[in-house]
């Protein structure tokens, strides 16, 4: 009985955590996570691998 309650509490805690994180990510502006930061880094790595200045 105790094990079942602990399991249910763990599942509920995980649900609340991921639900809260999802709601937080939805409140962020689109400009923040549109991907421009990693694209710039990727382009620099690609250019360096090709040997271009």
Summarised one tens digit per residue, pLDDT across range 11-35 is 999 999 999 999 998 898 877 666 6
Taking the C-alpha atoms of residue 53 and residue 45, their distance in angstroms, rounded to an integer, is 11
Retrieve residue 50's tokens.
Answer: 């090709």
Position with higher pLDDT, 52 vs 9 = 9
Taking the C-alpha atoms of residue 34 and residue 22, their distance in angstroms, rounded to an integer, is 16
Position with higher pLDDT, 29 vs 37 = 29
DSSP assignment, residue 12?
H
Retrieve residue 4's tokens.
Answer: 């079942």
Retrieve residue 26's tokens.
Answer: 């939805």
Angle at 22 between CA 12 and CA 14, to 5 degrees: 20
Q: What is the pLDDT of residue 40?
A: 67
């Amino acid at each position: 009985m105790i094990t079942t309650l602990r399991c249910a509490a763990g599942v509920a805690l995980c649900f609340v955590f991921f639900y809260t994180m999802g709601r937080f990510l939805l409140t962020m502006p689109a400009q923040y996570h549109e991907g421009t930061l990693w694209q710039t880094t990727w382009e620099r790595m690609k250019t360096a691998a090709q040997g271009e200045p």
